[in-house]
A and B are shown apart, each in its own frame.
Chain A
């Protein structure tokens, strides 16, 4: 057995951060600042890559100061370089960050072995084809595989952050998760919705018995539906017994949506409460700036409504509602046993360019990436994003098939962190 094989075997048998910690201490970091690489699809103004990479290069406002992450972003891979590209400009401005033509070279910094202490995988935006059910084929799995290949050939692993959901393809997403567990590297993923400000700044009571939850959001399917699903999941995962997975999902669109709404498939009260947390309710009547719409007005405003209604294995029902034309924010509402009334909040996104100039909801997200790179511990379980990845794909499948989609593969069990991880300071 070679040293590399021994290490691989050790990694495969050990679980999670413990194995990583052993490796990290064995390699001896000394006092050197950690170095990381970003593996991205595309880099333009207001792309996820720009929001994240710039925070490492330039810092960001945090806790009453200008915070410079104690980490150097030294390698960058950009899959698509278009006219609006900013990566070349940034590399020139920040010579410590070098652009490499392949993922392997980015992680080895042009050498033969893994030369960074963390990897950011940002596979959002870019010109990738869609499949027949409408999923955009972002190469997150392919990028991940190449990252893992370098880990294997170097006999060393480092923490990986995967932006948004894992892969559009469930089997690949599952493989990404399983690989991270087998090789024992810290793996974190997901949306900024779970970690951004909330108005009000409410946390879901830990160990509460949630009966039903709703998220009213906006945006497209296979895109913002994921953010809304993460909004729901980061709240309901705190319920008594933790998460046990999802049994089935039924999507509704257009007339089917309104029929389901009228039939009470999801709670009208929860939907109304979520809408009452919005800061962007389209006024249904001219000359009024903030007026609650009637059902008829809602139908007139929302041309293409989408709902994903799904049941968890413990019976909890959740509904994700995309109501373009009515709102432009993410609002959550739930009914919890023993708690009078409805529990609701907005996951507040300071969203450019209309409302702000900075997408500062990336600041808490980058903060959690930093923490993972520095400590080797993830702030929240990647199982959350594994589940929402599966739900996003199930939503697309159900929309395509126009039928309920059984999800026995989503029997994903995990417990939320005790401490809150959303932005409060």
Chain B
């Protein structure tokens, strides 16, 4: 018997996360050189918003499931008891307001709470996947993870960047000593900085002692970012290494196709009008930096200095092109694994950590870009032993 799953989504339109993740449970997906059909049956769907290009009714008709008006009904398939074996929550995209910190108020916590209510009332739990960060608000995110532990249901969350292909195909050795790490990302906040932070987190969590939480953060923007670089607050060498992995320099490359050393002759400063730097100080003393460099490149690249390895370790997180966005197939295979085994292939604490880092960075920016002590970010976890990147 295939596992019965409920899909809880903000919006189900072409190329929304719900569509490209949800559809893979309907039509299969490419993995390890095969077209894989999960042993899963989507039995119910809840969508919060139905824009003109909504696909929910069309999919329900073709694949024989029902769209329910509430989350509880979707989980109970119209009956009076939880009637699914797993819940897939994809609350990305859709029309939601932003708060004063610039965070889009996706109702992930609100959806999750309704799922948990059904679990509590019906006295049964099933695995839950939550797409991207948990909640824009760390307190709510923490409640979500604690609910999972309290009620003992498997939970997985996060971005597809940690599980996509890497160029080159590297993984940091488990238990290594990381001296410094830097990530370069692009796109808007608070969507794309989240992806970049989680990409960095999946690399640095493999360090000796695992993740022990974050002491302070600071988000600065504009010329202060370059000044911080000159003062050695972020490493020029690590930035050079990260940029050496980029396939998408802008500026003169767009004009005549040339390769560009973006760090030479102030090119980077010319291209990036509004740089953002996210400084993260971990409890174990590790300092990491995310630079969002819109205008310079269009891909996501990581670099770290690891004790005992002479060369800087760096890679691109390959975001394969639209419309296939096959990186989401890599993610779905992890979700399917949790649905099948009841075990999350990597800890949801990673996503909790990053949700908290981003929320705190945006608070720092809102409060005048000042350094923010984060005693509440006491998130401890160990990285999975097995590498979860796409490599087979």
Tell me the A residues contacting B by CB distance below 8 Å.
Answer: 45-46, 50-51, 54-55, 58-67, 86, 89, 197, 199-201, 272-273, 276-281, 283, 287-292, 333, 341-345, 348, 350, 352, 354-360, 423-425
Contacts and interface: CB of A to CB of B under 8 A. Distances in A.
B263 to A, nearest CB: 7
Main secondary structure of the interface of A (DSSP, over half): loop
A58 B257 contact: no
28 contacts: A46-B257, A50-B257, A58-B258, A58-B260, A58-B261, A61-B243, A61-B244, A61-B245, A61-B246, A64-B244, A64-B314, A65-B312, A66-B261, A273-B33, A279-B320, A288-B27, A289-B324, A290-B23, A290-B29, A290-B324, A290-B329, A291-B23, A292-B35, A333-B33, A345-B33, A348-B167, A352-B257, A356-B247
Residue of B58, B165, B314 contacting most chain A CB atoms (<10 Å): B165
A270 to B, nearest CB: 10
B58 A45 contact: no
Interface string B178-222: 000000000000000000000000000000000000000000000
B244 A199 contact: no
B158 interface: no
A280 B259 contact: no
Given A64-B303, A67-B244, A200-B392, 6 more contacts: A59-B261, A61-B259, A272-B35, A287-B14, A358-B248, A358-B249
B259 A55 contact: yes
Main secondary structure of the interface of B (DSSP, over half): loop
Contact of B247 (A199, A273, A343, A360): A360
Contacts of B392: 200
A358 B259 contact: yes
B30 interface: yes
Contact of A276 (B27, B35, B167, B168): B35
Interface of B: 14-15, 19-20, 23-24, 27-31, 33-35, 55, 58, 165, 167-169, 240-241, 243-250, 253-261, 263-264, 298-299, 303, 311-314, 318, 320-326, 329, 390-392
Given A55-B259, A66-B261, A356 B322 contact: no
Instruction: List 7 A-B pairs, minimum CB-CB distance, nearest first.
Output: A61-B244, A64-B241, A344-B33, A356-B247, A201-B169, A350-B247, A289-B323
Contacts of B311: 63-64
A357 B254 contact: yes
Contact of B253 (A276, A279, A291, A357): A357
Nearest to A46: B257
A354 B325 contact: no
Contact of A289 (B20, B168, B313): B20
Contact of B20 (A45, A290, A360): A290
A60 B258 CA distance: 10
Contact of B313 (A64, A65, A67, A197): A64
B167 A197 contact: yes
Contacts of B165: 199-200, 348
A61 B321 CA distance: 22
A283 B313 CA distance: 36
A357 B249 contact: yes
Contacts, number: 155
Contacts of B29: 290
Contact of A356 (B27, B34, B248): B248
Contacts of B313: 64
B15 A289 contact: yes
A291 B104 CA distance: 31
A384 to B, nearest CB: 23
Nearest to B313: A64
B38 to A, nearest CB: 14
A423 B315 CA distance: 13
B259 A290 contact: no
B326 A290 contact: yes
Contact of B256 (A86, A356, A359, A423): A86
A172 to B, nearest CB: 30
A67 B240 CA distance: 11
Nearest to B303: A64
A280 B14 contact: no
Given A64-B241, A289-B323, A357 B168 contact: no
A358 B326 contact: no
A177 B259 CA distance: 32
Given A64-B314, A276-B30, A292-B28, A355 B321 contact: yes
Contacts of B256: 45, 50, 86, 89
